Structure 1
Amino acid sequence: MVYLSQSSSLRYSTCGLLYFAQGIPKGLLNIAMPAWLASQGMSASAIASYLAIIVLPWVFKLTTGPLMDRFQFPAMGLRRPWILAAQLGMTLAMCSLVIIDDPLTQFTLLTILAAVVQGFAATQDVAVDGMAIDLVPEQEQGKVNAFMSFGKAIGWASAAAASGVMLSSFGLGLTAVVGASVCSIIFLGFFFVTERKGEKRFPWSAGEHAGSIPEKSSIASLVTSLNDVLWSRTSLTVFLILFFHGLVNGYGDALMPIAAVRLFGLSTAEWSNLVATMGLLGAFVALGLGPFIDKFGVKKMSIITTAVVFAHALILAQTEHLWREETYVLVMLSIWVLLDPVAMVCVISIAMSICAKRVSATQFAVYMSAANLGLSLGSKLFGMVSERWGYSESYLLLALLLFFTLGILFLFNKIPKGF
């Protein structure tokens, strides 16, 4: 038996693997599926609506945070039981996708089932983040965020690459079962890890909670505690940073695969393989970013990263005459994919840096829900403008959203956590 509280390397690897599992549904449902639907003739507005809906469970994951802070089984760890339950639910929900014979004619059912999968993934995400805040020393947070972003990037990149090929060759059913099988392996492996020495591995095992057990608080008292930390200037600034980050990502997640297939002529497999290759490279870059965040500060690194993404979008919008050059297009699409996990490391670090331990799961979930609300609205926004604007104007709007994000980042100043 191994214990997270006693090993930093175990904390890094465990959080990375759990985030890897979260990446599998993203690779299949958020990356490969939109490109495949675009190649089959589905309208841009319909694909954008699909993306907007399946992101919604991530918006409402803030309701899961108070439940995790209120209802616990400390003998198995404060967060571990929630992680196990959510991981199992995500695995079974992915298996349910086998009932989809034709995603085009069963589009509504596909969207509902995909949202259920994302609901379990979002719950697992809240629990893992809460566990990280509980167990990871502040001086290690940049590194653990890098490992988590690295794991998730590896997950969605590998899942996107495999799904891009399998969707066209074997259909959704087998593709989903393969993804669920990988998730089940991670679920079983997590039974061999506990948060602290002496805790139960299974509900029926011997053991007890080895740390201090937080006082059982009512939902009302948790809301009161949240009010003490959420409405400061810094907290509201973080809320806006994450919202605009999500808005940019959601808009780009809808724009990029549709443009890749319909404008630039890539196949579903080619787009998915590009995402996989550059996603893996971006994961390694993100992994190396952690020590720089700890050394130079999350604000400075976030500004630099966002400025680079802004410049990329602006250049792409202003170089329509180069869109017929295959090399140029592949380079620009690759840069976008590469920068995604890098930007995510900075955003997660910003949110985590001001979370109070007593309500960590809930507070962090509120911030990340702001990002996911932006993600959903961003996808919907592209669906609206795609019916009226060309791709050049669409890329220009992306640059404008990044400009606003950059401006808000300059307003961020870290404050003490308060608990």
Structure 2
Amino acid sequence: MLFIKSDPSKNKELPALSENTFLRYFSFAALYVAQGIPEGLLWYAIPAWLAMNGKTPAEIGSYVAVIGIPWSLKIINAPIMDRFTYLSMGRRRPWVLFGQLGLILSFLSMSLITDPINNLPTLMVLGFIVSFFEVSQDIAVDGMAIDILPVDQQARANGLMWGSKTLGISASVASGSWIMSNYGYFYAIVSFSVFISIIILVPLLLRERPGEKLLPWTKGEASKTAAKIQLHSWKVIFKSLYKVFFLPVSITMGIAAFSFMVGRGLIDTLLPVFTVQQLGWADTQYSQIFATANLISGILGMVIGGFLIDYFGKVKMISIYVTLLILLVASMSFLKDYWQLEWLVIGFVIGFYTLITFSTIAIFATAMQLCWKRISVTQFTLYMAVSNLGLAGGAAIMGQLKGFLSWEYTILIYVVFAVIMLVLIRLINFDKHQKRVDELEIKFANNS
């Protein structure tokens, strides 16, 4: 009888992310939870805690402004990640580890502030550093998702990622606020640092592609797939970005995403003012309903949002979601005489944010599919920058519109931006775009 001796090291090796669907979904969900925890604490729990301890709106606003700076600089970070990496450990994994390790260390550093209430400058500086590493991890994880997720799994993965981040934010806001109120700031920060530290095991133990090094001193080599698409020149990165972003489908997607987010920014900014000033709600009442709506939409997005998009198609589902948003917002505008019915407004808020979440998952998945893998991080981040610009634009025009329009017509303006999105998204042709990207790839290979 013949016995074949197997290599025990290979038997113990976990599958690479490129080889295992479950591990891909699990990894991206876990890493997005790790993003949600500091975001919930920094952006929501700590400002509320500062307010409870007598800090002025100006002081709290300054703190929020400082921690938000790294998010506005994402477009600077992204090309660096496309340009530099340690390929033998993976194209994106070293950057994921960098961001996650930085999150752990900077978060633990925040716990060392002995009197954060009376030491806001230090809290701002360390909050800025935490945000920087959160942004770095976010960009790297998105890049890894684009590089290794098959097209037919992108929407489902985006649903899981979005929902996981929502759960991370909700959990850290709820439990973080409770821990700070009952035990103090130090214990809240340390408690969540432990969770973030556990999550680093995911990128630490799972390779991007088979054969790569797990750690710098272990055996392994760069994947041929990763090495083939890695760029080593700033000139080539920006030249490639210019070529792919100004393809017709890319431009169409950019304008569509911008228009969609202008509409969202308008309603995001309008709702708290509308419910408090027009309907007479307490600000805490709207905050609770908004939080509930986001939690519901996040869970639904995680459970069924991505699945529906993958099953029926991105363009088709975006068209359906945006059409439902148009009908929902138009109905809310026309039902002015029934605005005092609390259940109607609550239903509108939950319905609106559920459809917004489903649409956003599909838009992110669409943007991922349109990316050229050579510069996927930079291209995807540029789509996000355009979207964020639209979000800010929508917030900015709300006050101007309300200056000469009544509430029902200000709400109805959303439909204009949604219709633009609906028309443009029907022009997205993935096959045509991929053919153009393949042509760019051939030209790049011939010129190399």
Q: CA deviation at 1:405?
A: 3.0
- 2:89 aligns to what? 76
Does 2:282 correspond to 1:265?
yes
| Cα shift readout 1:239-284 (whole Å, capped 9, x = no counterpart) | 122223333444444444566677422537x835762565245433
- Greater shift, 66-75 or 400-409, is seen at 400-409
2:235 maps to 220
Once the 2 structures are TM-superposed, how far is the Cα of residue 18 of structure 1 from its aligned partner?
1.1
For 1:126, which of 139, 146, 149 is the aligned residue?
139
Distance 2:401 2:109 in 1: 33
Shift of 1:71: 0.7
Map Cα deviations across residues 181-215 of structure 1 (whole Å, 9 max, x no partner): 32222123431111123323233333322443135
Shift of 1:144: 2.3
Given the alignment of the two structures, is residue 137 of structure 1 paired with residue 150 of structure 2, yes or no?
yes
Assess, with a 3 A threshold, how the Cα gap between structure 1 residues 140 and 322 changes in structure 2: closer, same or farther.
same
**1:56-135 to 2 correspondence within 5 Å?**
57-95=70-108, 99=113, 101-102=116-117, 106=120, 114=127, 116-135=129-148
Q: Distance in 2 between matches of 1:111 and 1:408?
A: 41
Matches within 5 A, 1:266-415: 267=284, 271-272=287-288, 275-276=291-292, 278-382=294-398, 395-414=411-430, 415=433
Within the alignment, does 1:14 sit opposite 2:31 as a pair?
Answer: no
SS of the counterpart of 1:353?
helix
Conserved? CA contact 1:244–1:405, under 8 Å: yes
Distance 1:324 1:410, change over 3 A: same
| Count of residues in correspondence between the two structures | 415
Distance in 2, matches of 1:10 and 1:273, equals: 34
Judge which range, 237-246 or 275-284, deviates more.
275-284
Q: Confirm or deny that 1:158 pairs with 2:175.
A: no
Provide the residue aligned with 1:207 in structure 2.
220
Q: Is residue 2:199 matched to residue 1:186?
A: yes
Whole-Å separation in 1 of the counterparts to 2:117 and 2:298: 33
Q: Look up the equivalent residue of 2:282 and give its one-letter code.
A: G
Q: Structure 1 residues 312, 122: CA separation in 2 closer, same or farther (over 3 Å shift)?
A: farther
Contact 1:143/1:290 (8 A) holds in 2: yes
> How far has the Cα of 1:356 moved from its partner?
1.3
Displacement after TM superposition at 1:16 (Å): 1.4
Most deviating of 205-214 and 8-17 = 205-214
Amino acid aligned to 1:151: S
Contact 2:289 2:346 in 1 (8 A): no
The one-letter amino acid paired with 1:358 is: R
TM-superposed deviation, 1:11: 0.6
Does residue 231 of the first structure (1) align with residue 223 of the second (2)?
no
Q: Which of the two has higher C-alpha Rg?
A: 2
Query: TM-score, length-normalised on structure 1?
Result: 0.82
Alpha-carbon displacement from aligned partner over 1:8-37 (angstroms, at most 9, x marks no partner): 111111111112222234434455677889
Identity %: 31
Unaligned runs of 5+ in 2: 1-12, 442-448
Equivalent-residue separation in structure 2 for 1:228 and 1:243 (angstroms): 20
What amino acid maps onto 1:346 in structure 2?
A
- CA–CA distance in structure 1, aligned partners of residues 94 and 88 of structure 2: 9
Matches within 5 A, 1:160-179: 160-163=173-176, 165=178, 175-179=188-192
Cα gap change, 1:118 to 1:169, in 2 (>3 Å): same
CA spacing shift, 1:112–1:133, aligned 2, 3 Å: same
> 1 or 2 for the larger relative contact order (CA 8 Å, sep ≥6)?
1
Determine the C-alpha separation between the residues in 1 that align with 2:65 and 2:425.
Answer: 25
In the alignment, what sits opposite 2:259?
A: 244
Whole-angstrom CA distance in 2 between matches of 1:91 and 1:19:
14
Question: Which range is displaced more, 28-37 or 308-317?
Answer: 28-37
In structure 1, what is the Cα distance between the partners aligned to 2:303 and 2:81?
28
